[in-house]
């Protein structure tokens, strides 16, 4: 639990949460959350794969869905957060393709329900106010995702240099065989 508390003290989380807290329009909130989470997913990929830098370096054409699928397959992020992010992506896509689409409490529930008791607590604390519940769910998801991201970054920066070197040289060897 102390790792999670550290995320909330984290400067990056404070900056993101201040932006999220100011937003009143639920559609914009969903779009911002999607952008923030996509950036964090990219960072997790960069730090979790032996040559994750290749994904970022070449302006990867991977969609959000594919990035989420790869992160999920790496088992770097818990299942509840992955499910919430899948639902966030579906909602974001619906918003982009229907410009006049309103965010409903049912949409918020789709994103939040994988979080179980945490979602129940957020709904109670925010007195079922749709925008406040959405904001609370997004903040919670961002906090969890940042914790996983910081863990991946820590693991990468603290990996022994010899192991990093081996993984890069084995990638080069494989590439030269093709």
Q: Walk along the chain (178 residues) and give the pLDDT tens digit of each residue.
A: 455 556 555 778 888 888 888 989 999 999 999 999 999 999 999 999 988 888 777 667 889 999 999 999 999 999 999 999 999 999 999 999 998 899 999 999 999 999 999 999 999 999 989 999 999 999 999 999 998 998 888 776 665 444 444 444 444 444 444 4
Structure token pair of residue 76: 């770097």
Measured in degrees and rounded to the nearest 5, phi and psi for residue 34 equal -65, -45
Supply the range of the domain harboring residue 122: 2-177
Nearest to 16 by CA among 123, 149, 118, 146: 146
| pTM as predicted | 0.81
Q: From CA 86, how far away is CA 39, in angstroms rounded? A: 15
Structure letter (DSSP) for residue 100: T
Domain tally, the chain: 1
Phi, psi of 93 (to 5 degrees): -60, -40
């Amino acid at each position: 639990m102390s790792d999670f508390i550290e995320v909330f003290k984290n400067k990056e989380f404070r900056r993101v949460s201040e932006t999220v807290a100011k937003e009143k329009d639920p559609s914009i909130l969903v779009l911002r959350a999607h952008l923030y989470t996509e950036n964090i997913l990219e960072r997790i990929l960069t730090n979790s794969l032996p040559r994750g830098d290749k994904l970022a370096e070449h302006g990867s054409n991977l969609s959000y869905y594919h990035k989420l699928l790869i992160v999920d397959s790496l088992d770097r992020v818990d299942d509840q957060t992955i499910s919430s992010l899948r639902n966030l992506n579906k909602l974001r896509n619906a918003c982009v393709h229907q410009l006049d689409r309103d965010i409903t409490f049912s949409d918020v529930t789709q994103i939040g329900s994988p979080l179980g008791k945490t979602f129940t607590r957020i709904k109670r604390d925010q007195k079922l106010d749709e925008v406040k519940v959405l904001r609370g769910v997004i903040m919670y998801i961002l906090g969890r995702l940042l914790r996983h991201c910081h863990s991946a970054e820590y693991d990468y920066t603290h990996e022994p240099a010899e192991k990093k070197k081996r993984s890069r040289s084995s990638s080069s060897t494989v590439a030269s065989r093709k």
